[in-house]
Amino acid sequence: MKRKERALFIEKKLNELYPNPKAPLDHKNAFTFLIAVLLSAQTTDKRVNIVTKELFKFADNPQKMLDLGEEQVYELIKTCGLAPKKAKAIISTSKIILEKHQGRVPDDISLLEELPGVGHKTASVVISEFFGKPAFPVDTHIHRLAQRWGLTNGQSVKKTEKDLKLIFDEINWRNLHLQFIFYGRAYCSARGCDGTVCFMCKSLYPNRKTKIQTTKA
């Protein structure tokens, strides 16, 4: 298969498996969604939802989060990975949203990227999922799969994002982001598949015998 043919096959199969993918992070508004995505780094979605269920009872907007304070935020999120760093980022981000954005989460990716703890991937998720603007967030799951499926060369996450945006239609970026992640977790994980095991890998490369070594960044 050529790259475009692989992309069409992938999209067709992912749509069959996950026709209406829903964001796995619980939230009430733009602010709580931003915080949930920020917390999800090196933490499972299940754990984030457990943590935010309590956190958002106390603080579901920037002012309440700021009033809660870094120490209390940490106590509520301490079972998440990188909790001290995230607690600090949550407070700083809440303060900036209040002071610079009138208490509203900006719907501009460059402004989101200026917030503490919010990198390009997190900003892309918020822009795509909550504000409905075109973005194709690429995390380690997607970066790994794109390499195994011959959609990018693995040079960098930035290059993978660029390649995926070029080969897939913009209208489908949001769904594909979630579909890639769901498929990767279920069938093509770092330990579960090496490019020769899962249905997608075997279908795209039926004659592949060599294990695929993917890069993380």
pLDDT digits (tens, 9 = 90+) for 99-119: 999 999 999 999 999 999 999
Question: Could you say which of 64, 95, 130 is where a domain stops?
Answer: 130
Which residues are identified as catalytic?
A: 121, 139
Residue 204: pLDDT above 70? Answer: yes
> Please, where are the H alpha helices in 2-69?
3-17, 30-39, 45-58, 62-68
Mean pLDDT calculated for residue range 49-70: 98
Question: Could you say which of 89, 107, 130 is where a domain stops?
Answer: 130
* Shared-domain flag, residues 122 and 140: no
* Shared-domain flag, residues 118 and 71: yes
* Shared-domain flag, residues 42 and 59: yes
- pLDDT category at 151 given cuts 50, 70, 90 is very high
Can you give the pTM of this predicted structure? 0.94
* Shared-domain flag, residues 42 and 66: yes
3-state secondary structure of 168: coil
* Shared-domain flag, residues 183 and 199: yes
Q: What's the confidence (pLDDT) of residue 217? A: 67
- Maximal CA-CA distance, the chain: 59
Question: Could you say which of 130, 162, 190 is where a domain stops?
Answer: 130
* Shared-domain flag, residues 168 and 97: no
Q: What is the domain count for the chain? A: 2
* Shared-domain flag, residues 109 and 154: no
**What is the domain range of residue 77?**
30-130
Whole-angstrom Cα distance, residue 126 to residue 37? 8
